Amino acid sequence: MNPGGEYEDTLLVARREEVASDVVALTLRHPAGRDLPAWEPGAHLDLVLDAGPARRYSRQYSLCGDPADRASWRIAVLRVPAGRGGSAHVHDTLTEGSAVRVRGPRNHFALRPAARYLFVAGGIGITPLLPMTAAAEAAGADWRLLYGGRTRASMAFADELASAYGDKVRLVPQDEEGLLDLAPYLTAPHLTAPAGPGTLVYCCGPEPLLQVAEEACRDWPEGSLRTERFQPRTDDAGTEPGGRAFELVLTRSGLTLTVEPERSVLRTVEAAGVPVLYSCEEGTCGTCETDVLEGEVDHHDSVLTDEERASGETMMICVSRCRGPRLVLDL
């Protein structure tokens, strides 16, 4: 456990497999064979990567193995050539037997019980949906998976999904069929089974796909669509933080601070010597979620649902701020 109460340990890469072009799957185990913490479909893990003594950083990857297997965790990592270096580090340096620091798991994309599900994956966004489809199948739910990717060879786990679940899985390689078109599946009056009352939609993939899903589900009952982002959202809700200064009260620490316009709540709290857990610092991982006691939050994260934002009970202090003059946090 780390000071924030999260599991943190060094695991070993027990297996490394190329599961698609530019996608490598890693199976992680404890070096002493100990059980790993339990997790549920939708959970992700931090890999704490080391780029030299002055630079440790973390990246989040969804767990895509079997939650019943307590001896190992499995993740799959897409090499992103224009990325920030995390995926290249994983691809180029982690081999069987490598040690890797992990934190978590945590879950902001949990699978809620439903009779019907529509899962929508774009590219590597298949990873959190893999254990979800298994859970939906085991629960006897009516479900379908729409899975789009650049080419068939780039679509990790596509063959095993198709052979395990047959026509419940619709594969859409872009070079063969064009872009995955969600409208026939999500937009009335063309709803295709299993979409309809009581259906939950889980969508993970690149930002344009998520935005299409959000638009198509705009008239669905609130809470029908759940999305998972690996990058900050690009709509108004995800704009860069900044703006006015405001007063920040930390009740448990007994401190009153000022959050300056260009400084985040997280950095302000940390500079005052109050320990706080964080990871991505861009509002996508959920590690820094903090209880709000007073004040109107100006949300800029990509984790909370509209309902959770409206409740104002918690906020991601790495990016979110305060609309008014005063914010009171349970820190």
* Binding site residues, ligand FES, CB under 6 A: 278-281, 283-288, 301, 316, 318
Of residues 109 and 143, the one with the C-beta less far from ligand FES: 109
Q: Are 63 and 75 in contact (CB under 8 A)?
A: yes
* Separation between Cα atoms, residue 21 and residue 259, nearest integer Å: 45
Closest CA relative to residue 72, chosen from 119, 24, 35: 35
Beta bridge partners of 172: 148
With H, G, I as helix, E, B as strand and everything else as coil, classify residue 213.
Answer: helix
Query: 310 CB contacts (<8 Å, ≥6 apart)?
Result: none
**Degrees to nearest 5, angle at CA 66 with 62 and 72:** 80
CB of 278 to ligand FES, least distance (A): 4
Of residues 154 and 279, the one with the C-beta less far from ligand FES: 279
CB of 4 to ligand FES, least distance (A): 11
Take residue 149 and report the two structure tokens written for it. Answer: 């990717």
CB of 63 to ligand FES, least distance (A): 17
Of residues 149 and 232, the one with the C-beta less far from ligand FES: 232
DSSP state letters, 128-141: HHHHHHHHHHHTT-
* Separation between Cα atoms, residue 321 and residue 259, nearest integer Å: 9
CB of 318 to ligand FES, least distance (A): 3
Of residues 200 and 327, the one with the C-beta less far from ligand FES: 327
Take residue 331 and report the two structure tokens written for it. Answer: 């820190």
CB of 265 to ligand FES, least distance (A): 10
- Half-sphere exposure in the Cβ direction for 34 (13 Å, CA): 10
CB of 306 to ligand FES, least distance (A): 17
Of residues 133 and 279, the one with the C-beta less far from ligand FES: 279
Of residues 106 and 144, the one with the C-beta less far from ligand FES: 106
Take residue 71 and report the two structure tokens written for it. Answer: 């001896």
